[in-house]
A and B are shown apart, each in its own frame.
Chain A
Amino acid sequence: DVKVTQSSRYLVKRTGEKVFLECVQDMDHENMFWYRQDPGLGLRLIYFSYDVKMKEKGDIPEGYSVSREKKERFSLILESASTNQTSMYLCASSFSDRPSYNEQFFGPGTRLTVL
């Protein structure tokens, strides 16, 4: 069974802290994504990666960075957490860039609260 796992389901951090969210997939997918999900706004893409050490900015990259040192792992970093980064963070991966096969597989999400 295909799987995307995220390091934490719930996380509480203080303003100014550096926060690491980890995502691991076991499907040998080339593409990995980080989204944030907020009520009424749907999913917004933060960053994505189409290969090891490659990254591309999504729609809302400000305040975030990413790291992909190994194919199966994609990390999201909040350099200095702020209260407006309180949200649900979803990681996803996909196998191919051909639209017909572009199903994304999602992890369970990390609900981050910044106090």
Chain B
Amino acid sequence: GDSVTQMEGPVTLSEEAFLTINCTYTATGYPSLFWYVQYPGEGLQLLLKATKADDKGSNKGFEATYRKETTSFHLEKGSVQVSDSAVYFCALTPWGYQLIWGAGTKLIIKP
């Protein structure tokens, strides 16, 4: 069945470091791909999305490119801040209403 695999956390970085959180997927057809973020004490919110191969989603300095050949959607940011500390979820929607979720990656940024 369809699935999403994320790198395990926590990922700990210093402020201004480069961030990569890996996400790979298994799906039939042409799913849309998403990154959601959950800040401490809050619900999830959409960070960025891509709906077809080679699309790049971007928001708040974060980017991810839909790579069909490697079935990946890695999240990157050039210079992280303490305020980026959160849990990041990769997800895909193969059809209809539902989202298939990764397990989440906790990111800790130290000043």
Q: Which residues of the partner chain A approach B34 to less than 8 Å between Cβ atoms?
A: 103
Q: Which residues of the partner chain B approach A41 to less than 8 Å between Cβ atoms?
A: 103
Closest to A30 in B: B97
Q: How large is the interface on A (under 10, 10 to 19, 20 to 34, 35 or more residues)?
A: 20 to 34
By the criterion CB–CB under 8 Å, are A99 and B95 in contact? Answer: yes
8 contacts between A and B (CB under 8 A): A40-B103, A42-B101, A43-B101, A50-B97, A99-B51, A104-B44, A104-B46, A106-B44
**Extra pairs beyond A58-B98, A100-B51 (19, CB < 8 Å):** A33-B97, A41-B103, A42-B89, A42-B101, A42-B104, A43-B104, A45-B98, A48-B98, A50-B97, A94-B97, A97-B96, A97-B97, A99-B96, A102-B97, A102-B99, A105-B45, A106-B45, A108-B41, A108-B42
Interface membership of B74, Cβ < 8 A: no
Closest to A48 in B: B97
Q: Which residues of the partner chain B approach A105 to less than 8 Å between Cβ atoms?
A: 45
Provide the A73-115 mask, 1 if CB < 8 A to any CB of B, else 0. Answer: 0000000000000000010101001011011111111000000
Residues of B within 8 A of A (CB): 31-32, 34, 41-46, 49, 51, 89, 93-99, 101-104
By the criterion CB–CB under 8 Å, are A103 and B43 in contact? Answer: no
A46 CB → nearest B CB, Å: 12
By the criterion CB–CB under 8 Å, are A90 and B97 in contact? Answer: no
Q: Which residues of the partner chain B approach A27 to less than 8 Å between Cβ atoms?
A: none
Q: Which residues of the partner chain B approach A104 to less than 8 Å between Cβ atoms?
A: 44, 46, 99
By the criterion CB–CB under 8 Å, are A4 and B43 in contact? Answer: yes
Closest to A43 in B: B101
By the criterion CB–CB under 8 Å, are A100 and B32 in contact? Answer: yes
How distant is the Cα of A44 from the Cα of B42 in the complex, in angstroms? Answer: 17
